[in-house]
Amino acid sequence: MKPARSLLFLVALFVAGLCLGPTHTLADELPKDTNKIKSLTPEQARRLVTENKGNMLSLNGLTTLDAEIAKALAEFKGVVLTLNGLTTLDADTAKTLAEFKVLGLTLNGLTTLDADTAKTLVEFKSNLLSLDGLTTLDADTAKALAEFKGQNLTLNGLTTLDAETANALVAAQKWDGQLWGLTAFDSPDSIAIAQALASRRGRLALPNLKKISPKTLTALIEKRDVEIPLIETLELIPEPDGSANDDFVIPEWLEEREAKRRERDRRRERDRLKSPFRAEPG
């Protein structure tokens, strides 16, 4: 076939393709990296869950999700669905999410959650519901979360609590008890907050605690198995309620526990330095 005729032939095929139209338009094509997906139609969502049968489906690029799209995603048969790009959630969408059959659902982009939405969301009955983006909770929402029907609820982003919310939270049996984001007890009701947290049955961990007053610390360690940094690393601040400061005297049982911990940390550091797999600086 001569070059001119070949060119005419290709042009004809191209025009025919435009007239007939492709099976999927360019707009229907989705990135291979599902975290780059910014929006979905119901048809795209259905196709996505059909084509992704692995352990995890990550859609962290989605910033909004309506009930119809959520219903389509509910057909996903994998283990974990991550929707960490969502910053808001309404009750209708939460109701659909609660019906998901995945073992884990992460919504770590949510920075706020109202009580009505929480009441619907806690019907999720699987292994993990992660809400680590929430920095604050009101008491009503905490009471709603206490009814979580699954196995493990995480709230590692909380940076502040009031006494009423803390009392509601400790009633949440499925909460994992970790407060990675709480670094200071500096509100006037700090002692009451510490007393509430100390009443929790089960694990209570505040691994990043930095500032606390003597009276608040005394209230907190009423729970003897509370996990906090070494006392010597904490900054003891004035009582937030304005009352007179007391000297903090470390109890003998805590002093013994911390001595064992320091020795354990030294032993781990020695083992790390001896390890042939230790990464070299730089």
pLDDT (tens digit, 9 = 90+) per residue, 160-198? Answer: 999 999 999 999 999 999 999 999 999 999 999 999 999
Residue identified by tokens 């206490």 is 146
Instruction: Tell me the three state secondary structure of residue 184.
Output: strand
The answer, yes or no, to whether residue 24 has pLDDT greater than 50, is no
Task: Output the six-digit token pair for 206.
Answer: 């505040």
| pLDDT tens track for 201-239 | 999 999 999 999 999 999 999 999 999 999 999 999 999
Q: Which class for 56: exposed (0-12), middle (13-18), buried (19 or more C-beta within 10 A)? A: middle
Q: Which H or E run includes 152?
A: strand 152-154
pLDDT at residue number 281? 55
Averaged confidence pLDDT in the chain = 88
pLDDT score at 28: 57
Which of the residue ranges 22-31, 117-126, 206-215, 269-278 would you say has the lowest mean pLDDT? 22-31
Look up residue 207 and give its two tokens. Answer: 């691994």
Homologous superfamily assigned to 23-274: Ribonuclease Inhibitor (3.80.10.10)
- Measured over the CA atoms of residue 270, residue 276, residue 278 and residue 282, the dihedral's sign is positive
Cβ–Cβ under 8 Å, residues 65 and 93: yes
The Cα–Cα gap between 232 and 255 comes to: 11
Which pLDDT tens digit goes with each residue over 28-78? 578 889 999 999 999 999 999 988 877 889 999 999 999 999 999 998 988
Token pair recorded at residue 134 = 């929430």
Within the chain, how many helices (H) and strands (E) appear? 10, 7
The pairing of strands 211-212 and 235-236 is: parallel
Q: What is the value of pTM for the model shown?
A: 0.83
